[in-house]
Structure 1
Amino acid sequence: MPEPIEGFSKLSKEEKIRWIAEQYTKDPEASISLLKTYWNTDERRQQLHDEFIENTLTNYYLPFGIAPNFLINGKLYAMPMAIEESSVVAAASKAAKFWLNRGGFKTEVLGTEKIGQVHFMYEGDPARLEEFITSITPLFYEETRPITKNMVARGGGIKKIELRNKTRDLDHYYQLHCTFETLDAMGANFINSCLEQFAKTLRREAATTDTLEDSERDIEVVMSILSNYVPQCLVRAEVSCKVEELGADTGISPEEFADKLVRAVAIANAEPYRAVTHNKGIMNGIDAVVLATGNDFRAVEAGIHAYASREGSYRSLTRAEISNGVFRFWIEIPIALGTVGGLTTLHPLVKLALEILQHPSAKELMGIVAVAGLAQNFAAVQSLVTTGIQQGHMKMHLLNILNQMEATEEEKKQLVEYFKKHSATHNAVVEALENLRESS
């Protein structure tokens, strides 16, 4: 039975590893050895990784791959992707190749506005509160000037501060709803610093103002925090071509293929159970690039899924149509990304990923990430309406199954060749490997 521990964070890394191994694993020495196996041999680089988070024991590796041949706004990209799921990189690469000679991907940033809020409770006359907030708004800007000075010099900063009355949703609840432009930075620290200063100004001024009654001056600030829902920080990516250009490698006519694609997307837009899986596939591409470029994929996920529900029902993030003989397929998502600050200047592979992407601005990266999601969705839906998803997915998953079965390199070579012509279900792979071993 494991024992509680006091002061775990104060132990050395070696002591932490030994404690966790002895308390929670069956073979402590093997566990210790495994954890140390994933240490970086470069001590300085390992220390850098250790300091990203607290209580670090080792590094947890994900494959870092490349999907080439993405033509985006006339510029050719190789897409870095960090992900563990089989077939994602292959699917993205397939879609990139498909659209390479059909005009490529087009992107447009529709907005870059980010949101932060000061949430507070006020018991009093709403009209007096509104008058009070209007009177102190210049102070919000003035007292955050040391924080915003550099951002403003680059063209960003605080864009708007407004009072929102939310008492219909929760008694006595109001908020300062604030918008920001953070340029190439994701901007979380900048936004949160501004909001916390707004809160200080609000409390101080409320305590002494003549605009509010004595009983109204005790404003309770509950919290000050940015929002990861950024519906005005939008990017659009799309592909289009004549329907007659769609037929290659699908096994059906271009017209039937286009109709099936449009219908499949319409189903995902109408049916939430399908939409969730449809959008999960989109996020396979988005998350992989977001992670490779050192951005917060959890924030991106939360914001995008909220956007998919903005009309009151969870819907597809992509749309498709046929008009005048032209097939169009597009995605529109809210996404806040950064190309400076945070891991972008610390993690060696993040810096390399951004170099591979030719040092994009935050706006360019928004487009690149949206394209990754659109490409992934196109490849997935293409498989679903033609061969089915399992044929390609299981062949990509083949090596994972063989590694689980501890297949030798020669066995892998023979079975990879065998399953080029056979369906690679899990049972079929296990059976084929057993047969191969019996015959040899």
Structure 2
Amino acid sequence: MSKSVQGFSKLTKDEKIEWVTTNFTQDPNAAKALLKSYWNSDSKLQRLHDEFIENTLTNHYLPFGVAPNFLINDQLYTIPMTIEESSVVAAASKAAKFWKDRGGFKTTILGTEKIGQVHFIFDGDSSKLWEFFTKIKPRLGEDASELTANMVKRGGGITNIELRDKTNDVQGYYQLHCTFETLDAMGANFINSCLEQFAKTLKNEAQHYTPFTEAERNIEVVMSILSNYVPNCLVRAEVSCPVSELKSSAVSPEEFAQKMVRAVQIAQAEPHRAVTHNKGIMNGIDAVVLATGNDFRAVEAGIHAYASKDGKYTSLTHARIENGQFYFWMEIPLALGTVGGLTSLHPLVKVALEILGKPSAPELMQIVAVAGLAQNFAALRSLVTTGIQEGHMKMHLLNILNQLGATEVEKKELTNYFKKNTVTHSSVVAAFENLRNN
């Protein structure tokens, strides 16, 4: 049964752990020891981690790996990836190696525009609201000038403010639809601060706009918040090679190319397949986004919205064969940052960005998009040739053996055994028990 507590946030970390383990675990002493075993031995570093979020008990570690040999626009990268799923890093590395010998990945930034909105209710004559907006539009930027000064010095800032009529969707609903250039910052705090200032100016100026009636002057600001849907903050990643170079031990190059194109066409036509297809892309994207201290939830939301932009959820990747050439590409929205937030706080994030050569935000967009494209290529390659389970389950073998409590000697022997035998959960359990019994 759930327990309630008063003033939990005011307890010390030890007191929080005591309350949680006493009330919710079967063996409080063992649970306490486990939680504390994940503390960092460097107290200064642990305090830094504790202050990232609220009510911290301990750290939750995810593996931090790298996928080497990514040739992007003729420059080699080793890409850091933070993820718990086996085979993702291996698949990305394999795809990187495959395309390195075929010209590598090419990327293009198509836009870097971020979006924020002030959502408000206006109960009155819409023509007067449009006249009012035209009058105060310059003032909106002026009143936010203190907030935008530093960003403007670096070449960014507010790029446009529009009034949009949404009354067909919600009675009286209008919005200030605002666009921004935030350079190497993801820009969430900057955008939200500007939006809140726009909202203040909107309300204050309405109070003194004489053409409005008393009721029209009382504009209700519902909320001021950035949008994680950024269809104009867009990057394209692509690969291509002659069909004859699509080597595969399972099928001919021509059949491989045709199967790849059909697999993408199916993901474009069938939403059930598209979701899993795009999830594979996000395996690569999220891993790099997380490693570089960016907001993978925001990235996920924006990308999946983009996959539905034409009214149906569909594949993010595209493929075609033309004049004997195979083309595979993707365009996705990515709002990322390389300064501010965790990028300047988390020690591993700093290392990840250093491994990447301290990229700008647009450069990071390109790297992340390539990781997603590589992951999708690797997944489709397995699906249309050997099947996904052969490679994935081989990588998953150690996870199963760890769950079974195998010793290092047993792991070595069973790993050798499954080099020539099919890996399934039941086959691993049977082989493990047979080894133990004998």
Q: Give the shorter-chain TM-score range.
A: over 0.9
Which position in structure 2 is the counterpart of 1:208? Answer: 208
C-alpha deviation, 1:2, in angstroms: 4.6
Q: Deviations over 1:292-342 (max 9, x none)?
A: 000000000000000000011100000000001100000110010000000
Which position in structure 1 is the counterpart of 2:326? Answer: 327
Which position in structure 1 is the counterpart of 2:35? Answer: 35
Which position in structure 2 is the counterpart of 1:197? Answer: 197
Take 2:434 and 2:240, find their aligned partners in 1: how far apart are those partners?
47
After TM superposition, what 4+ stretches of structure 1 lie above 3 angstroms from structure 2?
Answer: none
Secondary structure of 2:335's aligned partner: coil
Secondary structure of 2:149's aligned partner: helix
Q: Deviations over 1:59-93 (max 9, x none)?
A: 00000001000000000000100000010000000
Take 2:231 and 2:215, find their aligned partners in 1: how far apart are those partners?
37
- The one-letter code sitting in structure 2 at the alignment partner of 1:347 is H
Q: Deviations over 1:215-268 (max 9, x none)?
A: 211100000000000000000000000000002x33211000000000000000
Take 1:213 and 1:324, find their aligned partners in 2: how far apart are those partners?
67
Secondary structure of 2:303's aligned partner: helix
Take 1:214 and 1:88, find their aligned partners in 2: how far apart are those partners?
61
Take 1:95 and 1:2, find their aligned partners in 2: how far apart are those partners?
47
* Gapped regions of structure 2 (runs ≥ 5): none
C-alpha deviation, 1:385, in angstroms: 0.2
TM-score by length of 2: 0.99
Q: Deviations over 1:259-303 (max 9, x none)?
A: 000000000000000000000000000000000000000000000
Secondary structure of 1:383's aligned partner: helix
Which position in structure 2 is the counterpart of 1:422? Answer: 421
Q: How does 1:173-252 map to 2 (within 5 A)?
A: 173-247=173-247, 249-252=248-251
Q: Deviations over 1:418-439 (max 9, x none)?
A: 1111110110100111111122
Which position in structure 2 is the counterpart of 1:63? Answer: 63
Secondary structure of 1:176's aligned partner: strand
Instruction: Indicate if the aligned counterparts of 1:250 and 1:257 stay in contact, CA closer than 8 A.
Output: no
- The one-letter code sitting in structure 2 at the alignment partner of 1:164 is R
2:322 matched to 1:285? no
Which position in structure 2 is the counterpart of 1:253? Answer: 252
Q: CA RMSD in A?
A: 0.7
Count of matched residue pairs: 438
Take 1:148 and 1:52, find their aligned partners in 2: how far apart are those partners?
26
2:314 matched to 1:315? yes
2:151 matched to 1:148? no
Take 1:356 and 1:8, find their aligned partners in 2: how far apart are those partners?
40
- The one-letter code sitting in structure 2 at the alignment partner of 1:150 is N
Q: Deviations over 1:344-397 (max 9, x none)?
A: 000000000000000000000000000000000000000000000000000000
Secondary structure of 1:336's aligned partner: coil
- The one-letter code sitting in structure 2 at the alignment partner of 1:14 is D
- Identity score, percent: 72
TM-score by length of 1: 0.99
Q: Compare 210-219 and 103-112 and name the one that shifted more.
A: 210-219
Which position in structure 2 is the counterpart of 1:87? Answer: 87
Instruction: Indicate if the aligned counterparts of 1:131 and 1:211 stay in contact, CA closer than 8 A.
Output: no
Which position in structure 2 is the counterpart of 1:306? Answer: 305
Take 1:398 and 1:181, find their aligned partners in 2: how far apart are those partners?
46
Secondary structure of 1:299's aligned partner: helix
Take 1:331 and 1:76, find their aligned partners in 2: how far apart are those partners?
20
